[in-house]
Chain A
Amino acid sequence: MRLSASHNTCVAAKTPDTQQGTMSTTGSDLPSLLPALLPRLWAFALRISGDRHDAEDLVQRACVRALERAHQLQPGTSALSWMFTIVHSTWISELRARSRRNRSSTAWDDDMLETVADPAMRTPEENAINSQIVSAVCQLPEAQRVVMLLVAVEGLSYIEAAEVLEVPIGTVMSRLSRARQTIGALFGVRDSQRAKVAVSSKDPVS
């Protein structure tokens, strides 16, 4: 199917460029790449775990595991998406361990649902919509939320997201369609409540 290799078009244009810097790497490059990848690993870990202490522990563990397996990083693989794979699988292991220990999963830190207002660049309405978008994604079920973070936020292709999540590409797409359906329903209601939302469905910003 043609779409299988394509990027989701609702993703901002940053996608290919941001990953270019980490392309064509080998395992021996990993130690020098890790510090630069840290901010994005940190953001991803925060967003999937919803807790800064968990996120810090998660990134540390993932870096240890990645360095131990650096030789497995194939030339031409994006180091970033490879690191996402390790962060994600470490997090899944942690969640399983927690449920075995009968502990509840993480409680979301409400602070993280907030977005920073940027008065110089945006109207209050746009800021409000940004907050609503973040909130809508954060409220998705776990599996759909992670797919949205990888594809729509981090700009991974469906194939890369499938590799990160270690699921078939069809699963990525069906989770994505369900996630977007949920968000569409949510924003559709808001649309009808207000006359018009600044972000038009006909003319997405990206």
Chain B
Amino acid sequence: MKMDSILLMAYVDGELSAEECQEVEKEIAVSPEAAEFVAQLQTARLPYAEAFAQQKLPPVPDSLTRTVAAMARAHAQRTATPGANDATVAPDAFAPPSAAARSRLRIAPQWLAVAFVAGLFCYGAGMRYLPGLGSGPNATPPATLAAANPEASSWVAAAAGYQQLYSRETVAQVPVNAEVTAQTVNEIQHQDGLDVRIPDLRAAGLTFKRVQRLRFHDKPLVQIVYLPPQGGPIALCVMKEARPDAALAEQHIDSMNVVTWRHADLSYALIGKPEGTDLSALAKHISDSNVQTLFGDAGVSMVAAN
């Protein structure tokens, strides 16, 4: 075909001048190939937008709406009050944000931690007031969540919601800095007053990636992130709650499995995707103190943890 296909398309779409149209029509008259091309393009003038408007698409998942709203709100707050997140997030709580790493969401940006804090308000409200909260047809209703004590469990829901944002790539590339980790654990133990240490879960195939000091309702929340051999990261989150010990309990929050327990005034939540690692078995190992410690033994009495 001598004539440019783009010119022929413009002809079909009526975008050419009278003069240009004549040129094209001359070509069509002598070139069966051009004539066929034009016929095909004319046939393809279909009501695409209308057809796609009728397409059966699943609705926007509630979890996505919530997450984006929380991110947008946190970002707006951050923009409005520069440095606002300094008050809620320790500066050393995140791995160094190199430009290259940020580009693919390899690490969570600092303001996302604020989204986490901001998000808990809508999350907690959603948990309490929406009966059928869940994403997609296979979502398990958060039946047990917040049933006994909404206040106590809302941090677990918020932590699980935050954990959902993490993909494997989010943490896979984060280098483990032993010095920073040891310092963070020291701050958790001495400034936050939480007798938390980093369990060594290598026996279960989990590689320690990062520990972060977050805040929930202005109280310290520790998030320890591990990477299993496959699948999304697994987090062990800890908050201080001066309440009686509680046995292991498993629940589902959105798409996450969560195993919770309480020991020595510390509430634990082990959070991960349902596939892969057996969280209950892992939680039992941790709660039985059946694991070695990677960081945090120095300066803390072993008796307190056992």
Q: Is the CB of B51 within 8 A of A115?
A: yes
Known: A46-B58, A116-B56, A176-B9. A181 touches B46 (CB 8 A): no
Instruction: Check: A25 CB closer than 8 A to any chain B CB.
Output: no
Q: Is the CB of B68 within 8 A of A188?
A: no
Instruction: Check: B221 CB closer than 8 A to any chain A CB.
Output: no
Known: A38-B64, A39-B60, A184-B43. A130 touches B6 (CB 8 A): no
Instruction: Check: B42 CB closer than 8 A to any chain A CB.
Output: yes
Question: Which chain B residues in 1-35 approach chain A with CB under 8 Å?
Answer: 5-6, 8-10, 13-17
Known: A10-B45, A180-B44, A183-B46. A68 touches B109 (CB 8 A): yes
Interface residues of B, dominant DSSP? helix
Interface window among B69-77, B125-133, B292-300: B69-77
Complexed CA–CA distance, A14 and B45 (Å): 16
CB distance from A84 to the nearest CB of B (A): 15
Q: Is the CB of A115 within 8 A of B54?
A: yes
Question: Which chain A residues in 32-83 approach chain B with CB under 8 Å?
Answer: 32, 34-35, 38-39, 42-43, 46-47, 52, 56-57, 59-61, 63-65, 67-68, 70
Known: A64-B112, A116-B56. A173 touches B9 (CB 8 A): yes
Complexed CA–CA distance, A140 and B176 (Å): 44
Instruction: Check: A174 CB closer than 8 A to any chain B CB.
Output: yes
User: Which residue from B44, B52, B112 sits with its C-beta under 8 Å from A181?
Assistant: B44
Inter-chain contacts of A9 with B (CB < 8 A): 13-15, 45
Known: A10-B13, A42-B60, A199-B46. A181 touches B51 (CB 8 A): no
Inter-chain contacts of B54 with A (CB < 8 A): 115-116, 118, 127, 130, 134
1/0 contact string of B169-196 vs chain A (CB within 8 Å): 1000000000000000000000000000
Inter-chain contacts of A32 with B (CB < 8 A): 72, 76
Q: Is the CB of B41 within 8 A of A180?
A: yes
CB distance from A198 to the nearest CB of B (A): 10
Inter-chain contacts of A174 with B (CB < 8 A): 5-6
Inter-chain contacts of B135 with A (CB < 8 A): 56
1/0 contact string of B52-64 vs chain A (CB within 8 Å): 1011111011011
Complexed CA–CA distance, A67 and B68 (Å): 10
Inter-chain contacts of B42 with A (CB < 8 A): 184, 201-202
Complexed CA–CA distance, A181 and B43 (Å): 9
Instruction: Check: A23 CB closer than 8 A to any chain B CB.
Output: no
Q: Is the CB of A184 within 8 A of B44?
A: yes
Instruction: Check: A87 CB closer than 8 A to any chain B CB.
Output: no
Complexed CA–CA distance, A64 and B75 (Å): 10
Instruction: Check: A2 CB closer than 8 A to any chain B CB.
Output: yes
Instruction: Check: B39 CB closer than 8 A to any chain A CB.
Output: yes
Instruction: Check: A206 CB closer than 8 A to any chain B CB.
Output: yes
User: Which residue from A64, A68, A70, A134 sits with its C-beta under 8 Å from B51?
Assistant: A134
Q: Is the CB of B47 within 8 A of A206?
A: yes
Inter-chain contacts of B150 with A (CB < 8 A): none
Complexed CA–CA distance, A206 and B14 (Å): 13
1/0 contact string of A159-197 vs chain B (CB within 8 Å): 000000000001001101111110111011001000000
Q: List, sorted by A's number, 12 A–B pairs whose CB atoms are closer than 8 Å.
A: A2-B15, A39-B60, A52-B61, A59-B68, A63-B72, A115-B51, A115-B54, A134-B55, A170-B6, A188-B43, A204-B45, A205-B46
The residues of B with any CB-CB pair to A shorter than 8 Å are 5-6, 8-10, 13-17, 37, 39-52, 54-58, 60-61, 63-65, 67-69, 71-73, 75-76, 79, 102-105, 109, 111-112, 135-136, 165, 167, 169
The residues of A with any CB-CB pair to B shorter than 8 Å are 1-3, 6, 8-12, 14, 28, 30-32, 34-35, 38-39, 42-43, 46-47, 52, 56-57, 59-61, 63-65, 67-68, 70, 93, 97, 111-112, 114-116, 118, 127, 129-131, 133-134, 137, 148-149, 152-153, 155, 170, 173-174, 176-181, 183-185, 187-188, 191, 199, 201-202, 204-206
New A-B contacts (17) at CB < 8 Å, excluding given A2-B16, A31-B73, A202-B42: A38-B64, A39-B60, A43-B57, A56-B135, A60-B68, A67-B71, A68-B109, A97-B169, A115-B56, A131-B51, A133-B52, A180-B44, A185-B40, A185-B43, A201-B43, A204-B46, A206-B45
